[in-house]
Amino acid sequence: MRTLLNIIWFIFSGLWLWLAYMLAGVICCLLIVTIPWGIASFRMANYAAWPFGREVVERPTSGIFSLIGNIIWLVVAGWWIALTHITTAIALCITIIGIPMAVANLKLIPISLMPLGKQIVTKRY
């Protein structure tokens, strides 16, 4: 079931979100100093492309530097990626079939705003 959901997701929103995260990652890596945010953006791109069957958990070793990095990310790139999630969710709500995908899209907003100190893991059933 999650494979089917991931395929539908990728067609209707995952590709666009993947492109947004990849663009943010490339820009961050070009600026050298922001490479850690670029790596986090690439990690989130893969999660945004195939979210079903995975979840976000707090990394226990994250500290004050993750918080500071998240604040910088929020100001520089996080807000427009969150806006991309909101726009995609609104577009998905047009059809009844798209509503569950829109809800899943809205659940991705917290990691798009604060990516550092988080870990993406496979769900255990």
Asked if residue 10 lies in contact with residue 52, where contact means CB atoms within 8 angstroms, the answer is no
Q: Is the pLDDT confidence value at 125 over 70?
A: no
Per-residue CA distances from 8 to 11, 51, 89 (Å): 5, 11, 14
Confidence at 1, pLDDT banded by 50, 70, 90: confident
Q: Cα-flanking dihedrals φ and ψ of residue 2, to 5°?
A: -70, -25
Average pLDDT, integer, range 80-101: 89
Instruction: Write down the mean pLDDT value for the chain.
Output: 89
Per-residue CA distances from 36 to 72, 73, 115, 121 (Å): 12, 10, 10, 19
The domain segmentation of the chain, as residue ranges, is 2-122
Average pLDDT, integer, range 10-36: 91
- Tell me the pLDDT tens digit for each residue of 44-80: 999 999 998 888 888 888 788 888 999 998 988 889 8
pTM: 0.84
Residue 98: predicted pLDDT: 86
